Amino acid sequence: MIVLDTHVLIYDALAPGKLSARARKAIDSAFADRELACSDISLWEIAMLASRKRLDLSVDVRQFLEDLIAARDIRVMPITAEIAVLSQAEMFSHGDPADRLIAGTALYHQAQLVTSDAQLRKLKQVATVW
């Protein structure tokens, strides 16, 4: 399984040219194996970006999210008690709570995290792809 960061979900759906070749290959491979996942906080982030007009969608945000999940058969991973606690570990210098939860989700599930976020890619405990 691989966990997709929020911006990777957006790029995959709307601007695949922004994905690196390694990210694209990892996504395509995981899609073929039905092993794509995201943290549920990513759905909130996308809805928030759309409501603040920072993400221009051609459809209603709810429809976009439903289509995004269905098109790639993405498993939406809930924030569990373990992930909530793990996201507060000292290893996370990242100030963004959503990014901490996304990385915590990947770490908890022992999954690679597809992200271009330089701070997340520096984490030794989380395997990343970009």
pLDDT in tens, 96-118: 899 999 999 999 999 999 999 99
CA angle centred on 11, ends 7 and 17, rounded to 5°: 135
Asked whether the predicted pLDDT for residue 58 surpasses 90, the reply is no
What pLDDT, in 10s, does the model give residues 64-94?
999 999 999 999 999 999 999 998 887 777 6
Q: What is the pTM of this model?
A: 0.94
What would the mean pLDDT of 20-42 be, rounded to a whole number?
A: 98
Return the bridge partners of 76, or none. 38
Q: Which of 23, 91, 37 is nearest to 68 (CA)?
A: 37
State residue 29's pLDDT score. 98
State residue 94's pLDDT score. 65
Going from the N-terminus, what domains does the chain have, and what CATH number goes with each?
A: 2-129 (3.40.50.1010)
- What is the C-alpha end-to-end distance of the chain, expressed in Å? 15
